[in-house]
Amino acid sequence: MKKILTVSILLLIGLTVLAGYFFPQALGPILNLVIDWGILLIGTAALIGIGYLIKSHISRVARRDKQSFLSFVLLLAFSATIIVGLIFSFNHPIFTDLMINVQYPVETSLLAVLAVVLLTASFRLISTRGWTPMSIAFLCSAVVTLGLDAGSIYLGTEGAGAEILNFLRRLPMVGVRGILLGMGLGGLIVGLRVLLTIEKPYGE
């Protein structure tokens, strides 16, 4: 009985949303309701996920693990953000200052670290994989794209030179298109497998 109910809900929701793609006018209000409820459930699931994160760090602090100090920092930062967010409103300057002054330096610095990591990783790629058609194409494309972005490669604004530049800019789109089509086919197959109940991500 429970299994039938679960599959019925899955099919009802899945087919309603799919039908909404073909009859957007007729099914619009129902579709909005279904998606709104889905957003509520996904939001709750995210809160549960964060709850687990906090729970695991509380237990690390309670056990006085090797690096429980770091877990304490995480819990302190979490509590401080929640308290500041609750005392002041979400758009209050003090709350936005807190967010910007933590988020901006950490995210930009992580991106800066990425620059160095990417550079060393690309050298390592060539040294471990050797000169294969893919690695040669990778390196040439990276150099040409960097040159195009920096404006170092200039072949004029019209005529054959401009066409070649356009072609060079469009060339990476060929592989991207193939990868996107592959991802689309993969998404379609996984979605259909769930809707046909071959895959059961919701458990039995």
Partner 1 sequence: MTFSYEILWIVFSFLLTLMVLSYLLGDNIFFRFASHLFIGVMAGYVVLLISNQILWPYLVRPIVNGTLPGVLWLGIPVVLIFMLVLSQFKGLTWIGSLPLAYMAGLAAAIAVGGAVFGTLLPQSRAIVDSFDPAMWYAVPNQTWFRILDAVLMLVGTVGTLSYFHFGRKRKSMTEEDLEKRPAILEGLSKVGQVFIGISLGAVFAGVFSSSLLALIDRLLFIGQFINNLFRSF
Q: Which 89-108 positions form the footprint of partner 1 (CB under 8 A)?
A: 90, 97-99, 101-106, 108
Q: 118-147: which residues touch partner 1 (CB under 8 A)?
A: 118-119, 122, 132-146
Binding flag, residue 156, partner 1 (CB under 8 A): no
User: Nearer to partner 1 by C-beta: 59 or 108?
Assistant: 108
Residue 68: burial class (beta carbons within 10 Å; 0-12, 13-18, 19+): middle
Among 77, 87, 155, 198, binds partner 1 (CB under 8 A): 77
Binding flag, residue 30, partner 1 (CB under 8 A): no
User: Measured on CA atoms in the order 194, 195, 198, 202, is the torsion positive or negative?
Assistant: positive
Instruction: Round to whole Å and give the CA distance between 30 and 17.
Output: 9
Cβ 26 to partner 1 shortest distance, Å: 16
Instruction: Round to whole Å and give the CA distance between 80 and 71.
Output: 14
User: Nearer to partner 1 by C-beta: 140 or 154?
Assistant: 140
Q: 98 near 81, Cβ under 8 Å?
A: yes
Q: 135 near 148, Cβ under 8 Å?
A: no
Among 58, 61, 75, 126, binds partner 1 (CB under 8 A): 75
Q: 204 near 23, Cβ under 8 Å?
A: no
Q: 168-187: which residues touch partner 1 (CB under 8 A)?
A: 170-185, 187
Binding flag, residue 44, partner 1 (CB under 8 A): yes
Cβ 194 to partner 1 shortest distance, Å: 4
For the record, the structure tokens of 160 come out as: 């054959």
Binding flag, residue 14, partner 1 (CB under 8 A): yes
81: nearest Cα among 93, 98, 97: 98
Binding flag, residue 26, partner 1 (CB under 8 A): no
Size of the site for partner 1 (CB under 8 A): 118
Q: 10 near 199, Cβ under 8 Å?
A: no
Cβ 71 to partner 1 shortest distance, Å: 7
